[in-house]
Amino acid sequence: MPTTCLSPACLVVHNVNLTGSVLTIARTHVAAVFRDAVGVLVVGGVTLSSRGALYVEELSLQAALGLCVSVEGGVAARCGSVVAFVESDFLLCKHAVSVRGAVSVSGSAVALVRSGFVSTEDYAVAFYSTVSLAGGSMLLAKGNVHDGVSREMLYAAGAVTATGSTLSFVRNRALLPRMLSLSLLLAAGAHLRVACNDAGGRVLSTAEEYAA
Distance CA 66, CA 115 (A): 18
User: pLDDT per position in the chain (212 positions), as tens?
Assistant: 555 565 567 889 999 999 999 999 999 888 766 677 888 999 999 999 999 999 999 999 888 788 999 999 999 999 999 999 999 999 989 999 999 999 999 999 999 999 999 999 999 999 999 999 999 999 999 999 999 988 999 999 999 999 999 999 999 999 988 889 999 999 989 999 988 899 888 876 555 544 44
Rounded Cα distance between 139 and 189, Å, is: 15
φ/ψ of residue 132, rounded to 5: -125, 125
Q: Give the integer Cα–Cα distance in Å for 41 and 128.
A: 16
pTM for this one?
Answer: 0.92
Alpha carbons 158 and 96: distance in angstroms, whole number: 19
Beta-strand relationship, 60-62 and 138-142: unpaired
Q: For residue 101, is it left (φ>0), alpha (ψ between -120 and 50) or beta? A: left
Domain extent, residue 81, equals: 2-211
Total domains in the chain come to 1
Whole-Å CA distances, 102 to 16, 28, 122, 132, 136: 15, 28, 20, 8, 19
Output the CA torsion sign for 11, 14, 15, 21: negative
The tens digit of pLDDT for each residue in 128-145 reads 999 999 999 999 999 999
d(CA 191, CA 166) in angstroms, rounded, equals 5
Instruction: Kindly report, residue by residue over 6-47, the tens digit of the pLDDT.
Output: 556 788 999 999 999 999 999 988 876 667 788 899 999 999
- The CA distance from 89 to 30, in Å, is 11
